[in-house]
């Protein structure tokens, strides 16, 4: 599984509308073959930062980056962000999705 987390530092004047600006991109990405999840959250520390957590089957991430909707989203996002987003992208061998957190013992 390819696991990616991206922090988007959105310009304050665009922070409230960010979800609507990325809605088409989100919908198209979630429909891609091999997409496991694509989820947005807003930072509690900085309300102008949105965090994207996404995962793809090992062979699906390249097609995502090469897609028309990805390229269009980059053009849409570019004037809305304060600076280049920060990203962590890694391959997790043998993983195919979420696991339960046993430390809370709620199962």
* Mean of pLDDT over the chain: 94
Residue 30 has pLDDT above 70, yes or no: yes
Say what the pTM is: 0.91
Is there a domain that residue 64 lies in?
yes
d(C-alpha 3, C-alpha 37), whole Å: 10
Is there a domain that residue 102 lies in?
no
Residue 62 has pLDDT above 90, yes or no: no
Residue 107 pLDDT: 61
Q: Report the number of distinct structural domains present in the chain.
A: 1
* Angle between helix 23-30 and 68-77 (nearest 10): 160
Residue 60 pLDDT: 85
Is there a domain that residue 81 lies in?
yes
d(C-alpha 62, C-alpha 99), whole Å: 25
Is there a domain that residue 100 lies in?
no
CB 52 within 8 A of CB 23: no
Q: Which domain holds residue 30?
A: 2-93
What CATH code is carried by the domain that includes residue 58? Answer: 3.30.70.100
């Amino acid at each position: 599984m390819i696991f990616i987390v991206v922090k988007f530092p959105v310009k304050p004047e665009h922070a409230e509308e960010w979800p609507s600006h990325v809605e088409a991109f989100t919908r198209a990405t979630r429909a891609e073959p091999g997409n496991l999840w694509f989820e947005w959250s807003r930072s509690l520390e900085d309300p102008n930062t949105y965090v994207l957590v996404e995962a793809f089957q090992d062979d699906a991430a390249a097609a995502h980056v090469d897609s028309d909707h990805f390229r269009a989203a980059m053009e849409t996002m570019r004037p809305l962000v304060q600076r280049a987003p920060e990203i962590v992208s890694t391959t997790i061998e043998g993983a195919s999705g979420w696991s339960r957190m046993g430390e809370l013992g709620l199962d």
